[in-house]
């Protein structure tokens, strides 16, 4: 079980857009350098963030910017925008439990509801954390250096 790195890259992009907005015309190349990733991946993620209404992308002087205040962009917003989890959920269940075995026969019934509950709880917690929280921690660290 793992949420793809696209999630943390999305958070990184949003935080970098806020951090550098006054000093640089932030481009996908600039963001790729900050993230340490291929510019094609960055552009793909940016397109999905744009489609979700989290960032604005325009040609020319304004370039890439946030579509709303950073404190209003939650971890959940990015998680959903970037499809960080497979369609069938966070947990991937093994395909063919042995139905002749008492455990194999009943494992889904015993676990499915619990796993859905875990994912629901995680998603609820993600809604409580904004990228602004991360940004503020980054600013504090920079002030200490």
Mapping DSSP onto H, E and C, the string for the chain reads CCCCHHHHHHHHHHHHHHHHCCCCCCCHHHHHHHHCCCHHHHHHHHHHHHHCCCEEECCCCCCEEECCCHHHCEHHHHHHHCCCCCCCCCCCCCCCCCCCCHHHHHHHHHHHHHHHHHHHHHHHHHHHCEHHHHHHHHHHHHHHC
On whether residue 124 sits in a domain, the answer given is no
Q: Say whether pLDDT at 60 is over 90.
A: no
On whether residue 102 sits in a domain, the answer given is no
**Within 10 Å of residue 9's Cβ, how many Cβ atoms?**
23
On whether residue 94 sits in a domain, the answer given is no
On whether residue 100 sits in a domain, the answer given is no
Q: Say whether pLDDT at 2 is over 80.
A: no
Query: What does pTM read for this prediction?
Result: 0.87
Q: Say whether pLDDT at 21 is over 70.
A: yes
pLDDT higher for 91 or 62? 91
Average pLDDT over residues 136-142: 94
On whether residue 78 sits in a domain, the answer given is yes
pLDDT at 94: 80
pLDDT at 4: 82
pLDDT at 145: 83
On whether residue 28 sits in a domain, the answer given is yes
On whether residue 64 sits in a domain, the answer given is yes
Average pLDDT over residues 47-76: 92
At a CB cut-off of 8 Å and minimum separation 6, what does 9 contact? 35, 37, 41, 42, 45
The radius of gyration of the chain's CA atoms, rounded to the nearest angstrom, is: 19
CATH number of the domain enclosing 58: 1.10.10.10
- For residue 55, give its domain range: 5-87+130-144
On whether residue 39 sits in a domain, the answer given is yes
Q: How far apart are CA 61 and CA 59, in angstroms?
A: 7
**Domains contained in the chain, number:** 1
């Amino acid at each position: 079980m793992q949420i793809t790195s696209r999630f943390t890259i999305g958070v990184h992009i949003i935080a970098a857009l806020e951090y550098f907005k006054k000093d640089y015309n932030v481009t996908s190349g600039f963001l790729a350098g900050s993230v340490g990733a291929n510019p094609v991946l960055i552009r793909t993620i940016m397109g999905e963030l744009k489609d979700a209404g989290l960032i604005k992308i325009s040609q020319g002087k304004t370039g890439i910017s946030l579509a709303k205040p950073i404190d209003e962009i939650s971890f959940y917003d990015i998680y959903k925008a970037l499809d960080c989890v497979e369609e069938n959920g966070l947990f991937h269940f093994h395909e063919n439990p042995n139905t002749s075995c008492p455990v194999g026969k009943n494992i889904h019934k015993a676990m499915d509801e619990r796993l859905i509950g875990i994912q629901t709880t995680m998603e609820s917690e993600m809604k409580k954390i904004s990228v602004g929280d991360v940004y503020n921690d980054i600013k504090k660290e920079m002030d200490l250096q």
